[in-house]
Structure formats: structure tokens, C-alpha cells
């Protein structure tokens, strides 16, 4: 799978995309990430990429020409399943959308900055607009890193233990159960007996009960949705 990311701040993406699981996925050839500096497509001697908003108001808006030139260059090299604009007014990212995106071959991600990008770029090129939650970030870069991380871990072969993505919170619509490691006794607190029993069936039943209870208490909205999906024929 390949991500191409268009940004005015490529340095902001370097570290989060080059460690741990994302690093290993790239080394294994399962993931390719191209980071593209929009400044290279900027206008004039100063490589300008933004300008004042028509109609007035605070902040700058990203001009259409550099973005269009960059997107067209990318599209001349490969076909994209989606051209995604990261924006707080997009649809909220969730696990279902991550699952869907993980089936893609190539994704093009556009990071906005300042007051956002000229609306005409959204109309002409963007096929999907995604927010990572109801709060405002300074730009789309950290949101793009979140999206790449959440989607990459769903690509077969990326995680060491193939089953472990299936046990993530949300993957079955429930929160994950509590986990413990050694020591079995720590500062007067012990690990639930069942986890030390070696009894696989009882352990998986316990984990499922814990998942249900945790979801019911912490996320009643998810719990109701899960119950509805369970009773569907
Ligand atoms: Cl995708 N961009 C910005 N700037 N802020 C956000 C966001 C995206 N998602 C949540 N907040």
C-alpha cells in the first residue's frame, strides 16, 4: 500500500512515520510513503503557496495553483483510490473507515494549513474529507500521521501477530479488555486468577465479559450499537 502526502511542513511528518510499526512496514516493503513539499510547486521567486482570503477575514488560504500542479503530478504517476483532504469539517475517522481504506492500493493525502485550502480544489480533486475528531489542530499533518498509522496496522503482514489487530479496541465494536503482565503479585494487587489458569476457553470468556462491561460503562453508545448488531439475524 502506498500513501503520498502533500504538505507545507514535511519535517512534521518525518518522525511519526519512521518509527516502530510504520518503520518496520516500510522496511518489509508492505508500506511506501512519499512526502511531498508543496513549496516545490509554489508560485514565483518566493514559492508562494498561500494568499489573503477573498471577502476579508483573518488568516491565509492555500492557493489552488500549487495544489493542482502537485496533485496532477502525483496523478500522472499513479492512480489513486481516494484523494483525501484532512480537515476538521470532514467525516470523523473511525475503525470502519480505517478498515475500508486499508483495502486501497494508493491514497493521496492533502494537508491543509492556515485557514484551509481554496474550495475549488476540494470540488475538483478531493474524493473524501476526513477529520480525526471534534477539536482543532494547527494543520492536517498530525491528522495524516494518525490516519497512516491506524490504516497501516490493518495491512496483512504488518503486525507480528496477525491476530492482534483483531483484538484491538473497536475492531469488533467493543473496547479491549484489561491486560496484565508479570509479576502476578504487585504492591498487594494480584492478577485475576483466571488469567493464570491456563484454561483457554475460560480466559476468552472472561475477556469477552470484561470487554462488554467496559464498553457498557465507558461507551454506552458503542454498547448499544454492538447489542443491536448482535441481535440482527
Ligand atoms: Cl484533519 N485537521 C485539522 N486542522 N484539525 C483537525 C483535524 C484535521 N481533525 C480534527 N481536527
**pLDDT one-digit tens code per residue, 187-206:** 999 999 999 999 999 999 99
Question: Mutate which of 9, 88, 93, 142 to test ligand 1's pocket (most atoms within 8 Å of Cβ)?
Answer: 88
pLDDT reading at 168 higher than 90: no
160 band by pLDDT with thresholds 50, 70 and 90: confident
Sorted by sequence, the CB contacts under 8 Å of residue 4 that are 6+ apart come out as: 33, 34, 36, 74, 80, 106, 107, 108, 109
List all residues whose CB is within 6 A of at least one atom of ligand 1.
86-88, 131-133, 135-137, 139-140, 143
Residue 6: CB atoms within 10 Å: 26
163 band by pLDDT with thresholds 50, 70 and 90: low
What is the 155 CA–ligand 1 centroid distance (Å)? 24
Q: How is 177-206 classified by DSSP, letter by letter?
A: PP---S-SEETTEE--HHHHS--HHHHHHH
Q: 169-231 maps to which CATH number?
A: 1.10.1270.20
Q: Rounded to 5 degrees, what are φ and ψ at 162?
A: -55, -25
pLDDT tens figures, 15-42 = 999 999 999 999 999 999 999 999 999 9
pLDDT reading at 216 higher than 70: yes
| Domain 2-152 identical in fold to domain 169-231 | no
- Which atom number of ligand 1 is nearest to the Cα of residue 144? 1
What is the 107 CA–ligand 1 centroid distance (Å)? 18
Q: Which residue in 94, 197, 183 sits closest to 207, CA to CA?
A: 197
What is the 95 CA–ligand 1 centroid distance (Å)? 17
Indicate the pTM of the whole model: 0.95
User: For the chain, what are the domain ranges?
Assistant: 2-152, 169-231
Do 165 and 154 touch, CB atoms closer than 8 A?
yes
N-terminal to C-terminal alpha carbon distance within the chain: 35
Domain spanning 2-152: which CATH class is it, in words?
alpha beta
The mean pLDDT value of the chain amounts to 95
162 band by pLDDT with thresholds 50, 70 and 90: low
Sorted by sequence, the CB contacts under 8 Å of residue 144 that are 6+ apart come out as: 5, 7, 13, 86, 109, 111
Do 131 and 88 touch, CB atoms closer than 8 A?
yes
CA distance 227 to 124: 41
Distance of CA 23 to the CA centre of its chain: 16
Q: Percent of the chain beyond pLDDT 90?
A: 92
Interhelix angle 200-218/220-231, nearest 10 degrees: 120
What is the 221 CA–ligand 1 centroid distance (Å)? 23
170 band by pLDDT with thresholds 50, 70 and 90: confident
Averaged pLDDT, 171-196: 96
Averaged pLDDT, 43-70: 97
Do 86 and 92 touch, CB atoms closer than 8 A?
no
Q: Which residue in 89, 101, 105, 84 sits closest to 32, CA to CA?
A: 105
What is the 28 CA–ligand 1 centroid distance (Å)? 30
Averaged pLDDT, 130-148: 97
pLDDT reading at 174 higher than 80: yes
Amino acid at each position: 500500500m502506498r500513501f503520498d502526502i502533500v504538505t507545507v511542513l514535511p519535517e512534521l511528518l518525518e518522525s511519526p512515520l519512521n518509527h516502530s510499526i510504520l518503520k518496520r512496514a516500510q522496511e518489509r516493503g508492505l508500506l511506501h510513503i512519499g512526502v511531498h513539499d508543496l513549496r516545490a510547486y509554489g508560485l514565483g521567486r518566493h514559492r508562494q503557496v498561500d494568499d489573503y482570503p477573498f471577502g476579508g477575514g483573518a488568516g491565509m488560504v492555500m492557493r489552488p495553483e500549487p495544489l493542482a500542479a502537485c496533485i496532477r503530478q502525483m496523478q500522472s504517476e499513479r492512480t489513486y483510490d481516494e484523494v483525501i483532504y484532512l480537515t476538521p469539517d470532514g467525516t470523523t475517522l473511525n475503525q470502519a473507515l480505517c478498515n475500508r481504506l486499508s483495502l486501497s492500493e494508493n491514497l493521496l493525502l492533502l494537508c491543509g494549513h492556515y485557514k484551509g485550502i481554496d474550495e475549488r480544489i476540494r470540488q475538483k480533486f478531493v474524493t473524501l474529507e476526513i477529520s480525526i475528531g471534534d477539536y482543532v489542530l494547527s494543520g492536517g499533518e498530525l491528522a495524516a500521521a494518525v490516519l497512516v498509522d491506524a490504516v497501516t496496522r490493518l495491512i496483512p503482514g504488518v503486525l507480528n501477530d496477525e491476530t492482534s489487530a483483531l483484538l484491538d479496541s473497536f475492531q469488533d465494536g467493543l473496547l479491549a479488555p484489561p491486560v496484565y503482565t508479570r509479576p502476578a503479585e504487585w504492591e498487594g494487587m494480584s492478577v485475576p486468577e483466571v488469567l493464570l489458569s491456563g484454561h483457554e476457553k475460560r480466559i476468552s470468556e472472561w475477556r469477552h465479559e470484561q470487554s462488554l462491561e467496559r464498553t457498557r460503562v465507558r461507551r454506552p453508545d458503542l454498547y448499544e450499537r454492538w447489542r443491536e448488531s448482535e441481535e440482527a439475524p
